[in-house]
């Protein structure tokens, strides 16, 4: 199975202009995500590429030694950009289209490479699934924190329910499932039955192409979750259980988020240095 990791790096964010080039503890946001991709792409059948939409980001890719392709700045979503990047990359390198495309968000500098590797391995070994995404089983303290967080931010944080084989049944901005007999469950286990979804996706190439051709789904619009488009159209999502990361934040969307990322690095150490030592 040939896998391609794509990193969408848009420069035109309205909330955070030139975000990929912003320095966090001395390294650009893009450089940090590229280091994650490099670590996860050590196998011979895994490659990575940055999908840029501006010459400044392309020049920065050259500076940090990252492969890049130019994509249309008007593409409507990260999934469309991942598909376009796969086509351009394969044409540029003279290689066949990949079997599997993993879209590594360019604003997620703390994504553990292990999460990427788990999805690639799941795609190799799980027949029948179209899409692969990670989930974390919350302990009770983390569930309590999520409940508190949602009092002020009801649309922040997504949960997933899946069957025994790991196939996702649904995703929601609500906390699923509802829990009866919670006190007994708390006494019996440190882990709650709630799975929190992480916004990282890998696609069979045909599934990615189909996704970009489908119209927005009814529940996708209501929940604001694009993965529901797959489920509403009968496609199968494998929700792979992964370990909770040491450093966790949803993404760097604003300058305030970048400041928080720097504070986390100062408090817990720089994961970039750890990854550099592994390469």
| Structural domains for the chain | 1-112+251-279 (3.90.550.10), 127-244 (3.90.550.10)
48: confidence class by pLDDT, cuts 50, 70, 90: very high
Q: pLDDT > 90: what percent of the chain? A: 88
* Pair of tokens at residue 181: 């007999």
More confident residue, 13 or 107: 107
Q: How far apart are CA 262 and CA 107, in angstroms?
A: 14
Q: pLDDT > 70: what percent of the chain? A: 100
pLDDT recorded at residue 247: 80
Does the pTM of the predicted model rise above 0.75?
yes
CA dihedral over 239, 249, 174, 220, signed as positive or negative: negative
Is the per-residue pLDDT at 277 higher than 90? Answer: no
Q: How many CB atoms lie within 10 A of CB 265?
A: 21
For Cα atoms 200, 42, 5, give the angle at the middle one, nearest 5 degrees.
30
CA dihedral over 100, 252, 71, 221, signed as positive or negative: positive
pLDDT recorded at residue 13: 75
Please state the rounded mean pLDDT for residues 69-82: 90
pLDDT recorded at residue 2: 96
11: confidence class by pLDDT, cuts 50, 70, 90: confident
């Amino acid at each position: 199975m040939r896998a391609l990791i794509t990193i969408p790096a848009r420069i035109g964010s309205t909330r955070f202009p030139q975000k990929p080039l912003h320095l966090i503890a001395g390294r650009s946001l893009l450089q940090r995500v590229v280091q994650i991709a490099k670590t996860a792409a050590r196998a011979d059948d895994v490659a990575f590429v940055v999908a840029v939409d501006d010459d400044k980001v392309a020049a920065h890719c050259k500076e940090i030694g990252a492969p890049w392709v130019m994509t249309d700045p008007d593409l409507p979503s990260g999934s469309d950009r991942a598909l376009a990047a796969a086509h351009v990359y394969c044409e540029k390198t003279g290689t066949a289209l990949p079997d599997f495309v993993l879209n590594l968000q360019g604003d997620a500098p703390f994504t553990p490479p292990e999460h990427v590797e788990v999805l690639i391995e799941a795609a190799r070994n799980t027949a029948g699934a179209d899409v692969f995404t990670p989930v974390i089983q919350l302990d009770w303290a983390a569930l309590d924190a999520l409940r508190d967080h949602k009092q002020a931010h009801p649309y922040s944080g997504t949960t997933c329910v899946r069957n025994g084989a790991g196939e996702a049944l649904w995703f929601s901005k609500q906390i699923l499932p509802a829990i009866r007999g919670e006190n007994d469950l708390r006494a019996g286990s440190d882990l709650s039955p709630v799975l929190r979804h992480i916004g990282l996706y890998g696609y069979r190439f045909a599934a990615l192409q189909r996704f970009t051709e489908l119209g927005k789904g009814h529940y996708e619009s209501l929940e604001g979750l694009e993965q529901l488009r797959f489920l509403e159209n009968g496609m199968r999502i494998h929700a792979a259980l992964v370990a909770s990361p040491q450093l966790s934040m949803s993404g760097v969307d604003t300058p305030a988020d970048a400041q928080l990322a720097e504070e986390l690095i100062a408090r817990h150490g720089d994961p970039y240095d750890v990854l550099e030592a592994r390469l």
